[in-house]
Structure 1
Amino acid sequence: MAQKDLFELEICIESKSEYMDFDEPDYSEMTCRCALHEGVQIEIEEKPTTMGQLVKIIIAMQKFKTHHKVQSTMFTEHEVFNIFMDSVVEESVANVVCCDASKTYNKQDNVMECTVCDKLQKSLVKSTIAPVLQAVTLKGGNLHRRVLFHLSSYTPPRCSDLRGQPVCLGIAKSKLYLSCTNVSGTPTLSIEEINDKDTLKTISANNDMDRVLFLRRGTGNSVNTFESVKYPGWFISTSQADHECVDMCVENDASRLKVFTLYDKTVVFDN
């Protein structure tokens, strides 16, 4: 409180004291106003029962003036920032999403039946000599030799950064599945027989079953690539020549064909 304001309050009290009994004061008509700063006033409207209470008010105001600096109605940028942080910004709780450390893949209900051809329209057929696939140009009545695949989709693990849809490529009406395994230090495409299909419902790297998973990536059905989940960077591919085996190759291998087209597509129930 400014010294001038305190002085005005004392004069106001003294002027009223000249006309009252000190033991039984009557302040019923007293109203004192003390301007702290522009736009703010203090009004004393209550009736003290003794002069001692009024003296205590004066002492308290004097202490307030001594220990507290009266601030103007204008705030500094620092004060505005503190008000904003204290009153506007709300505390938020971040939910920590636990990533699936085991990289578990769960099979979905949808299964697509289809045939597969490479970029040169060579069909994937099963060799009559060995358990391998070949890319062959079929004509006329030989189209029945095309392998009918069942593409089963899988839900990817949480927090995964996979670049495609995980799928399993099974040969229809059989227990045969395409798998990528390490042969003499090189990822190789194989046809594997799996008798217990229940092992394919939930696949993880812990049980080594991720060898049958491939990341299908592409535009629509005409441009598809199949990258091994177990060996990232290795893709199912065919040779430029006819009747060659289907195998794996690295992404930058320009001598092999890695893009495939899906034909005869239909949704089936895979039991």
Structure 2
Amino acid sequence: MAFVPDLDTLESSSLNEETFYGLDCPCLQKKPRLSSDLQPSGQSPAEVGVQVTLAEGHPTKTFRQAAILVVAVTKLLKRPSHHDFSDSDLGSFLDAVFEPVAFQRFDSSYAGAPVYRYIRSQSFDIHDIDHKCFTLESPTQLVALHLQGPSANRKVKLNIALYRPKSSKGSAGAMQTPVALGIKGYKLYMSCVMNGAKPTLQLEEADISRDIDSFELTRFIFYRLDSLAEHTTRFESAAFPGWFICTSPQPRQPVGITNQPGEVNITTYYLSSR
């Protein structure tokens, strides 16, 4: 067990000598000063500075050095000085005893999960501007095609769940309406997921008529973009901004999603609540 001397014993030693602790000796050892270290003649005691010598050799800082620091600072505070003791004076001692600590600064931001508050659901008939309706084919595939006469009963209605962002101020979707697009009569909802190198539209069995508060469920959210002048609607994926639900100009093709609205595929629809 290491021997810790009493602080009064340390303070009783002279400023003209340095106190060290031997590795195997529990008693105090005094190292006499050289003649060049003695106080010059005529110098007043108030002008004597404090000298702290750190032993070379061991790379790590030791308790011995910390004890010398405490004694040196205590004596310095008790003696008169020509200037006030400042932080820089103490810092010079601390720099000699403690290892420097390196800090790294990381600039990062954390985006919280989007939160959408469920309001209500409403059913709509839907067809694109080419008058193609949506039908459900096995197993769970939406297809757009022209329906006439008795075959018109095959068309599906959308059960649109309406949401409202809990915090819409300054958000990207402040002027957009978040919705989930379900198939009426089924627990199937459209979702946009990554498949390979690009997003894909699919139908999933789910029950999301509730608040959406996780990134995982954002795949079911689409922004309904209404054109009041033309009475048309587009649906943009919330999980993949810039990707819109689309139908092919050719009949009997699956309903999909595209990031090139208005070029080849059709991304504009009519909704009717009749």
Q: Same fold (TM over 0.5)?
A: yes
Q: How does 1:5-84 map to 2 (within 5 A)?
A: none
- Partner residue of 2:233 out of 224, 227, 233: 224
What residue number does 1:170 align with?
182
1:103 matches 2:111: no
Q: Quick one: percent identity of the two aligned structures? A: 27
1:134 matches 2:114: no
CA drift of 1:214 comes to 0.4
CA drift of 1:219 comes to 2.1
> How many aligned positions are there?
161
What residue number does 2:196 align with?
184
* Aligned-partner SS, 2:150: helix
Letter in 2 for 1:102: A
Q: How does 1:190-201 map to 2 (within 5 A)?
A: 190-194=202-206, 197=207, 199-201=208-210
Closer/same/farther in 2, CA of residues 253 and 260 from structure 1, 3 Å limit:
closer
Distance in 1 of aligned mates of 2:209 and 2:177: 16
Aligned-residue RMSD, C-alpha: 2.0
What residue number does 1:214 align with?
222
**Unmatched 5+ residue regions in structure 2?**
1-110
Moved over 4 A (4+): none
Distance in 1 of aligned mates of 2:220 and 2:113: 16
What residue number does 1:18 align with?
none
CA drift of 1:205 comes to 3.7
The structure whose Rg is larger is 1
Distance in 2 of aligned mates of 1:140 and 1:168: 30
Letter in 2 for 1:112: Q
Verify the 8 A CA contact 2:127 2:271 in the aligned structure 1: yes
What residue number does 1:236 align with?
245
CA drift of 1:200 comes to 4.1
More strand by share: 1
Distance in 1 of aligned mates of 2:238 and 2:114: 11
CA drift of 1:157 comes to 3.9
* Aligned-partner SS, 1:141: helix
Deviations 1:90-138 (A, max 9, x none): xxxxxxxxxx9322011003x21111101100001111x3311111100
Distance in 2 of aligned mates of 1:174 and 1:157: 28
Verify the 8 A CA contact 2:158 2:182 in the aligned structure 1: yes
* Aligned-partner SS, 1:210: helix
Letter in 1 for 2:140: P
Letter in 2 for 1:174: Y
Distance in 2 of aligned mates of 1:262 and 1:218: 10
Distance in 2 of aligned mates of 1:222 and 1:125: 23
What residue number does 1:59 align with?
none
* Aligned-partner SS, 1:239: coil
Letter in 2 for 1:236: I
**Unmatched 5+ residue regions in structure 1?**
1-99, 267-271
What residue number does 1:28 align with?
none
Letter in 1 for 2:119: Q
Letter in 2 for 1:105: Y
Distance in 2 of aligned mates of 1:116 and 1:243: 16
* Aligned-partner SS, 1:232: coil
Distance in 1 of aligned mates of 2:240 and 2:132: 25
- Partner residue of 2:132 out of 122, 137, 146: 122
**Higher RCO (Cα < 8 Å, 6 or more apart):** 1
Letter in 1 for 2:263: A
The TM-score, its normalising length taken from structure 1, stands at: 0.56
